[in-house]
Amino acid sequence: MISRAAIAPRIHGCSAMPDSSGCTNGSGADHGAANHSAVVERQFGGQAAAYLASQVHAQGEEFAQLRQRVGGIDAARVLDLGCGAGHVSFQIADLAAEVVAYDLSPRMLDVVGESARDRGFGNIRTVQGVAESLPFADSTFDAVFSRFSAHHWRDVGLALREVRRVLKPGGVAAFIDVAASEQPLFDSFLQTVEMLRDTSHVRDYAPSEWAQMVGEAGLVMTANSRQRLRLDFETWIARMRTPDVMRDAIRQLQHDVGQEVRAAFDISDDGSFTTDMLVLWATKEHV
């Protein structure tokens, strides 16, 4: 398990960074961040069990890559950043010395902790907090993995700088998320349906945006690849319990867009569609 010395103490009451409790330092910017954190918890806290059972989240070619990297590190300490229902943690726990499952939602973390115990993973520890302010000492982790989380972060640049800080020199990071198109027409469509489905959505980033943000954070991108992700419409909507008015708006939008958009996303008559997913690898270079 992670030693207490490696984790900075969490101060009860209001802190410098906002959290899901709504505490702020009094500035307008922090007030907005606290509001967004509350929206994220509202959207996902009650859906924890649904996300644990989600086949989209439980399966993926990228898991083999994550396992290969962890398997090559002696006594690996890994941070699962924005862990959701814990799928990354469960995939790598048998290969790592320690896994910290980190998420904004306490109810998600309750599901992760219970499932880890049921699976016999005593080396998974849950910690609650925001991506932009990681409560860990510098150079704590050999690897930081984040899957289907970054599109909810209020400040991805700040979160990436935090990732660099907590990585050991030579450590690796993997960021896996839905990828936006470099073409504005397709980008606008994707962001709109994402927001209509889930009001905690901030942005799906294009590969060029990811490359720029990773570089600006002081990380070195070593590889990236794209996969196609098919989303069954009814399951996708039910998992988030999207209100009918929002569901209907998405279906109307899918119907009204031009043929080039329908073709790019392979939109079916039932609303199911396909989007791109980015797998990006980066490292923290030795000083």
Q: Give the mean pLDDT of 50-57.
A: 56
∠ at Cα 148 (222, 89), nearest 5°?
85
The per-residue pLDDT for 48 is 57
Instruction: Specify the pLDDT at position 60.
Output: 74
The DSSP code sequence of 157-198 is HHHHHHHHHHEEEEEEEEEEEEE--SSHHHHHHHHHHHHHH-
Least confident of 57-71, 172-186, 232-246: 57-71
Q: What is the mean pLDDT of residues 64-76?
A: 97
Q: Which residues pair with 229 in a beta bridge?
A: 275
Q: State pLDDT tens for residues 74-110.
A: 999 999 999 999 999 999 999 999 999 999 999 899 9
Across the range 267-284, mean pLDDT stands at 98
- Tell me the pLDDT of the chain averaged across its residues: 86
This prediction has a pTM of 0.83
Going along the chain from its start, the domains and CATH numbers come out as 30-180+201-228+276-283 (3.40.50.150)
- pLDDT reported for residue 34: 54
CA distance 78 to 181: 30
> What confidence tens digit (pLDDT) does each residue in 7-27 have?
333 322 333 333 333 333 333
Over residues 258-280, the mean pLDDT reads 98
Residue 42: what pLDDT?
56
pLDDT at residue 66, as a whole number: 97
Across 270-283, average pLDDT: 98
Predicted local confidence at residue 119, as pLDDT: 95
Q: What is the mean pLDDT of residues 171-182?
A: 98
* Beta-strand runs (E) in the chain: 77-81, 98-103, 124-128, 141-147, 167-179, 220-231, 273-283
- Encoded amino acid at 76, one letter: A
Banded pLDDT at 51 (limits 50, 70, 90): low
